[in-house]
Amino acid sequence: MALSLEKFIHSLDLRTLPRVLQIQSGIYCQGSVYEMFGNECSLSTGEVIKVIGFKINKLIASICENNEGSQFSAKVELPLNFPGLYKVVADKTPYASIEEIARKVSIGPTRFGHPCFYSAKDIKLANFTIKHGEQITFNSVEEVNGTMTVNCFMVRNNQSHSFTLPLSQEGEFYECEDDQIYTLKEIAEWKIPKCRNRIVKLSNTLHMWDSSSPLPENFDGYLILMPVYEVQAVMKFRKDIVHILSDLDVEVKDITDCYDTGSFLQPLSLEDIFERTSKEFPMVAEIMEGPSESRKPYNLLSTGKEIVIYKKYQAARVLASEMRSDSSKKHFLIPMSYKGKFKRRPREFPTAYDLDIARSEKEQLHVVATKAFVSPHKELFSVSVGDQFLVQQCQTSEVLYEGRKKLIDVLACEQILSDSYKKVLLPMYMEGGFVEVIHDKKQYHLSEICKEFHLPFNVKVSVRDLSIEEDVLAAAPGLQFEEEITDSYLLISSASSPVESWEIPVYRLNMLVHLLSKDVQTVVPPVTRTTVEEVSKEEYYMLRRYENLTLQPPPRPPKKPT
């Protein structure tokens, strides 16, 4: 039965991909296909294509400036790279079965692919009962003893319980509230169920508003997002990926069951390559669709180029940001192989609590107060601007509070006087301001800083890495090393001239390849080029928000009544 391309997309179960389609009717030019703005916009009747995936190409957003229940007015078109971070509003329309959830909601191996639902009624399992309203997290879909099931877990009384739910399980399932924030691209890829729209609320604009923005100035309301899909397909006799927008006026027929899908090339993403076993490496591949990145070395990964993929692995990186207050601040991922050297820059501390976190056994922390603080307790010290302290340790102290003695956390310090030292106690909740005094003139490698000091840590490049053609870190006025992270990489080189190899990030570089049945000339990779990766503001927030949250200082008690 012939369907419009849009109806086919809405009826498609992603787990059944790839699918082979035959074009039944549509608007087309003589010949076969032509491209406009990177998308196939004409297909001839009888053409056969293999659909390997589809994704949201752009979003049509209806604007509501008040609350999600108000009337939505103007519609605007938003590209997926439109700046901003958004909170997802839980869908109030229930799902009738686990099968409907698995078919419409993205469930996958990444942190985005673990949706949470609750049941309106109790669900009795063999071992225990899921009570109505309890949050159920969906991890993956798999076949168990011939039955399709969803692997789930839930937390009850601080204990995690794992279990499976069959797709045949019926009920009334509602989406849970989500307190994370997402970019539009992440929402498009993971958070818009098929055949449903998604309401989101703008949380952070990331950029200053300008007149070219499709959203109103100072907008902080809600948007209804309606997706326009792009089909990714392979055609015979072509080695690249074709892109077809879902609103193209063509009808298609699914002929997968009576067609040899092996006659098409098999495109693989970097994630697909990374999931292969280590024994399958090294391998030779041809790029079917290169990344959009123009920076080196990604600009070398053009369509049609053959590459050798030597191995997959996890590698450590330090996430760093430029020390500047304007919106043009850059963010970097620095590999441990970086050969430059750094000198320390003074750190700033807003509270006494931050001083306690920063102190180390390696050296005594020396700071100068930049903000005055008047202590409400006579037992504790009042700070003046310019006071200098050596930080000692955290301890408890007894103070008189509203006529009663009370134990509170304090920071023991030595105040530096002109010719002596004075022992003082600062309340841990103290909201002041301190800047570090640096006595250390040593130059450090990146690995030494990570080993010897607590992050965050302020530095400036003192000796640039001469192995890098253009060391972008050397131009920064100062850098703050924020945290050490671990990420997934593939080690690759050019197949035709393997002079050097370089690491490419699996989850931040969009490209497709197909494997070639060629032998790798040498299994030992050439020397690896050090690459400092500049990340966008959206990628920076994505990297930071999933790391462990820093402990917050204890709340300040109410002031003593006058």
Residue 479 has pLDDT above 90, yes or no: yes
pLDDT confidence band for 96 (50 / 70 / 90)? very high
- pLDDT, residue 149, reads 93
Q: What are phi and psi of 199, to 5 degrees?
A: -95, 130
pLDDT tens digits, 114-149: 999 999 999 998 888 999 999 999 999 888 888 899
Mean pLDDT of the chain: 85
Tell me which fold the domain 348-436 belongs to. SH3 type barrels. (2.30.30)
Q: How many CA atoms lie within 13 A of 135 on its CB side?
A: 13
- pLDDT, residue 28, reads 47
- Say which DSSP state 501 is in: E
Which of 62-71, 111-120, 136-145, 383-392 is least confident?
62-71
Give the residue from 110, 70, 108 showing the smallest Cα distance to 89: 70
DSSP states of 427-454 as a string?
ETT-EEEEEEPP-----B-HHHHHHHSP
- In terms of DSSP H, where are the helices of 259-351? 270-274
Q: Which of 95-99, 191-195, 240-244, 246-250 has the highest mean pLDDT?
A: 95-99
Q: Provide the percentage of residues in the chain whose pLDDT is more than 90.
A: 36
Residue 549 has pLDDT above 60, yes or no: no
Residue 553 has pLDDT above 50, yes or no: no
Parallel/antiparallel/unpaired status of strands 181-182 and 123-124: unpaired
What number is the average pLDDT over the span 102-114?
A: 85
- pLDDT, residue 237, reads 66
Residue 22 in contact with residue 58, Cβ under 8 Å? no
Give the residue from 371, 330, 322, 339 showing the smallest Cα distance to 478: 322
- pLDDT, residue 211, reads 63
The domain segmentation of the chain, as residue ranges, is 1-80+192-265, 91-176, 267-341+439-549, 348-436
Number of neighbouring beta carbons within 10 Å of residue 81: 11
What number is the average pLDDT over the span 421-444?
A: 90
- pLDDT, residue 209, reads 58
- pLDDT, residue 530, reads 86
- pLDDT, residue 153, reads 92
Which residues are registered as beta bridge partners of 223? Answer: 63, 200
pLDDT tens digits, 302-359: 888 999 999 999 999 999 999 987 767 899 999 999 999 999 999 999 888 888 888 8
- pLDDT, residue 557, reads 45
Instruction: Give this prediction's pTM.
Output: 0.63
Residue 42 has pLDDT above 80, yes or no: no
- Which contiguous run of DSSP H or E holds residue 100? helix 98-104
pLDDT tens digits, 495-525: 988 888 999 999 888 899 999 988 887 778 8
Give the residue from 237, 239, 234, 235 showing the smallest Cα distance to 304: 239
- pLDDT, residue 561, reads 36
Alpha-carbon distance of 105 to 173, in angstroms, equals: 13
DSSP states of 185-211 as a string?
HHIIIII--TT--EEEEEEE--S---T
- pLDDT, residue 473, reads 94
What residue type is 131 in one-letter code?
Answer: K
What number is the average pLDDT over the span 549-562?
A: 42
pLDDT confidence band for 200 (50 / 70 / 90)? very high
pLDDT tens digits, 19-39: 899 888 765 444 444 444 455
What number is the average pLDDT over the span 491-495?
A: 92
